Amino acid sequence: MSTITSTAASTAAATSSPASTKLNVDFNMFLKMLTTQMQNQDPLSPMDTSQYTQQLVQYSQVEQSIQQNKTLDSILSSLSGQNLTQASGLIGRQVIFDSAVAGLSADTPASWNYAANGKVSSLVATVTAADGTVVDTRAVDATNATGRFSWDGKLTDGTTAAPGSYTLTLRGSDASGNNVPVTINSVGTVREVQMAGGALSLSVNGSVYPATNLLSIAG
């Protein structure tokens, strides 16, 4: 099921609330002090006019700051909503992320693209669970320096790994046994887009990625 989730409005409010709350407190405190000052001034020696005017100006500045914050919150909320709407077009599209983490579900394997930085004679894949436990290690066909590795969660003892996020590492070696660096990118179909903390993220096979990690989108 495809989903679009937005917590933009509440997040924007939550993000700015400390500043807004402080302004409101200052604003109310200022009014209280000014009122008390006027009520308790000496009738024979009233408050200096210039000082009173200065305090009114300060009152106006605090009020303007509160209104500006409210306007900014509204603008940020609107922009977040627009970004989320545009990102919804990615749902159902295959994407590639700058991440070695991929999601495994009951019906969809975890998938990665890889590219060795040079000719390799051997490739060994290691799959690690989110808690750091190595769950699978196997040899990969090293005929080509680039390819795709898919893991269906099947373990050597005949059981199946639980759905979740898994990290792939690939140890590449050339004919002389020297290490060859391998670049790994997760691959999958976008199922959900969401906005949280002002940042857009995409859910692929149960794993969530920042939109900034997006490398490519299939046509």
Same domain, 20 and 75: yes
* Cβ-based neighbours of 117, under 8 Å, separated by 6 or more: 180, 181, 182, 183
Task: Dump pLDDT digits (tens) for 155-180.
Answer: 988 899 999 999 999 999 999 999 99
Same domain, 194 and 129: yes
Final residue belonging to a domain, choices 90, 119, 153: 90
Give CA separation, 188 vs 7, 213, 216, in Å: 24, 13, 11
Where b means 16+ CB within 10 Å and e means fewer, 107-137 reads: ebbbbbbbebeeebeebebebbbeeeeebbe
Q: Which of 46-55, 121-130, 195-204, 210-219 has the highest mean pLDDT?
A: 121-130
Same domain, 124 and 71: no
Q: What is the CATH number of the domain that holds 115?
A: 2.60.40.4070
Same domain, 30 and 132: no
If phi > 0 it is left, if psi is from -120 to 50 it is alpha, else beta; for residue 43 that is alpha
Q: Which of 15-19, 32-36, 77-81 has the highest mean pLDDT?
A: 32-36
Nearest to 12 by CA among 172, 195, 153, 213: 195
Residue at 81: amino acid letter: G
203 — pLDDT class (breaks 50, 70, 90): very high
Same domain, 84 and 129: no
Same domain, 172 and 134: yes
Same domain, 200 and 133: yes
Final residue belonging to a domain, choices 54, 73, 90: 90
Q: Provide the whole-model pTM.
A: 0.63
Q: Which of 16-20, 90-94, 160-164 has the highest mean pLDDT?
A: 160-164
